[in-house]
Structure 1
Amino acid sequence: MVWWSKTWAKGGLILAIIMLAGCKVSGTTSGSYYEYGDNYYSHGHFLDARDTGHYFPAASWSLNKASQACVGETLYFETANARVRVYGSPAYSDTAFRAAATELDNRIGGVLNKFRMSWQDFIVDRTAAAPYPGHLIACLSPSVTSAELSSASLAAVAVAAYPGSWPYDAGRIFTHDLAHYVQENLGRYDSDHSLLPLWFAEGQATVVANEPVASAYQHYDYSPLQDVYAHSAGSAIYRYEHYGLAYRYLERANGSLAMTLLLDLVQFMDWKNYHPGTISSGEERAFVEAFDAMDLVDHRGHYLSFARFRADYHQLVGASY
């Protein structure tokens, strides 16, 4: 939980940070498939955008293909705390709307806790270009399978529409994708694509969701920092564990709050249009410049530039255990 401000002055960035207290949330899954008793559903109301004027976001730059399925849908369920809105076709059951809203509402606080933020901090620090910046928007989408379960973009989280077939580890999958939702909102302003390299985005989401992370002594099994984009990434099934290893190295040396501030500095550079484009190895220049400006350190406390981390990754991780 952090309140802080950003100022660009005399070529330097001043980050003032005040730490506040945290909170915990939990959800419910059991058996082979998702189960949720009626008593556990979040309270709320079904509403229609034609009455409220709160239409599903339509800007394509802020949505992925899965969430675009709700463009034009007017029916939505809003939780009583007004934090989550789930849009979808009236052909879907009331249970589908309530189950999606409940999972997202229950888990977003725990995810933000890993980013050292509260919900109010997130509202303040997320991109102001996001539609409905005070709400978590979701879409019951036919494009999302029950196995995939959810898919996050800056404006909305797309969710599989049939909770009866959600997998038993639905909570973990929601947590992972909500981490991507937070990244999207903290790590870009109005760019039409993510500014984070694949290894960082997936590594952070892996750690936030408490998914398996490769052991440091296994570092030579894979070179995660080579995977900048999804379309050019390796095919090893265990690569996500190595993305988690690369990210965890940075977090252990610098703290999770520093990783959140790194995301916000990337957003700041996107807002100001500082350092657009990519460097020769493919990473977004805004990410690389933010990484270097954060004065991150290695496991021995020595300054760690992005170029050094990329070039000496195996040496650094190998010496850290």
Structure 2
Amino acid sequence: MILNNRIDSESFMATIKAMLILGVLLLALTGCKVTTSDSHHYPDSGGFVSGLFYDARDTGRLYPTSSWSLTRYTEACQNEPLYFETHSGRVRVYGSPAYSETSFRAAASELERRIDGVLARFQLRWSEFVQDRSAAVAYPRQVIGCLSPEVSHSEFVSASMAAVAFNPYYGQWPYETGNTVAHELAHFVQQNLSRYDASYSLLPYWFAEGQAVVVAGEPIAEVYQHYDYDPLWDVTPGDTANFPYRFEHYGLAYRYLEKANGALAMTVLLEMVQVLDWDGGSYGEISTGESRAFVEAFNSANLVDHRNNYLSFQRFQSDYHDLLNGSY
């Protein structure tokens, strides 16, 4: 990017100090999908990746505005022209000048450093992800971040198809930053591989969360505990029961599929869902609530069970406990 697009660092810091004196935005308390502890780590800018601040009014690289690819968390940056871009050009973080330079750099560093590891769990390299990602999304060659006041410190980070939103106050970030960012980046990758222009996720809730749990290396239920919960009936967040270890069971259900078929087969499944969304012939849901695109892709992916027998979605759903019971 050309030199005159860069924001003078001294004027940037002066703006920050002036606006911080005026007041600090209250954090919005929201229901959280993945919660974190109250233990925080504090700024250490020596470990951040390098990059530069820019003004989108100069560069023309405005924050995404398409509502179909954003959530209320990631919509918060729609009118923010300030952004920090890493020197690789892969990561761009938008936010208000009221937030510290440290917060911009920290969010960009987390995205830059963790995206390759998450993609590796999907059996993808960066160049392959860019190629496979929906061309309908803004900036398909970048990971876009947003410092969002809608994200509470207990949630810390939340992903949509177009962007990943961070709590804007770096001093309130938790110690378990790595796992939480990896979990949300897994959702970011999922949505970009499985949607073309659908206005909502085409993946069942149990599958999306189970895959994210496995990718992030979070706890998974033991196989012998499978009778404790029926994860496959949690098609949407509204279907979930108040069970404290349900995410561990989502991970168990997903891991069964990945163990029998391999991680690459799961990535191909996501890409097949996107093709069906692009084709437009698989709209709507089946009688149990799953998207038709997901079920048709599942049944066409030639997935197998632990005995290497063909596994349809209907059999996986109806025989889930028998399959898990016979797998150990």
TM-score (norm. length: structure 1): 0.89
Letter in 2 for 1:226: W
The Cα of 1:34 is off from its aligned counterpart by 2.6
Q: Is the 8 A contact 1:278 1:285 kept in 2?
A: yes
Residues 73-107 of structure 1: CA deviation (Å, up to 9, x unaligned): 10000000000000000000000000000011100
Query: Stretches of 4+ moved more than 3 A in 1?
Result: none
Letter in 2 for 1:144: V
Please name the residue that 1:34 is paired with.
41
Asked if 1:55 corresponds to 2:62, the answer is yes
Question: Per the alignment, in what secondary structure is the counterpart of residue 154 of structure 2?
Answer: coil
Please name the residue that 2:159 is paired with.
152
Question: Per the alignment, in what secondary structure is the counterpart of residue 286 of structure 2?
Answer: coil
Letter in 2 for 1:60: S
Please name the residue that 1:249 is paired with.
256
How do 1:1-321 residues align onto structure 2 when only pairs under 5 Å count? Answer: 32-35=39-42, 37-321=44-328
CA RMSD of aligned residues (A): 1.0
Q: Is the 8 A contact 1:47 1:78 kept in 2?
A: yes
Q: Is the 8 A contact 2:43 2:171 kept in 1?
A: no
Distance (whole Å) between structure 1 residues aligned to residue 268 and residue 149 of structure 2: 35
Q: How many residues align?
A: 291
The Cα of 1:33 is off from its aligned counterpart by 2.0
Question: Per the alignment, in what secondary structure is the counterpart of residue 131 of structure 2?
Answer: helix
Question: Per the alignment, in what secondary structure is the counterpart of residue 47 of structure 1?
Answer: strand
The Cα of 1:35 is off from its aligned counterpart by 4.1
Which of the pair has more CA radius of gyration? Answer: 2
Larger strand percent = 1
Residues 221-272 of structure 1: CA deviation (Å, up to 9, x unaligned): 0000000000121110100000000000000000000000000000000001
Letter in 2 for 1:62: S
Q: Is the 8 A contact 1:34 1:170 kept in 2?
A: no
Question: Per the alignment, in what secondary structure is the counterpart of residue 85 of structure 1?
Answer: strand
Q: Is the 8 A contact 2:43 2:102 kept in 1?
A: no
The Cα of 1:36 is off from its aligned counterpart by 5.0
The Cα of 1:310 is off from its aligned counterpart by 0.3
Q: Is the 8 A contact 1:152 1:177 kept in 2?
A: yes
Unaligned runs of 5+ in 1: 1-30
Residues 15-50 of structure 1: CA deviation (Å, up to 9, x unaligned): xxxxxxxxxxxxxxxx94234532211100000000
The Cα of 1:287 is off from its aligned counterpart by 0.2
TM-score (norm. length: structure 2): 0.88
Unaligned runs of 5+ in 2: 1-37
Q: Percent identity?
A: 58
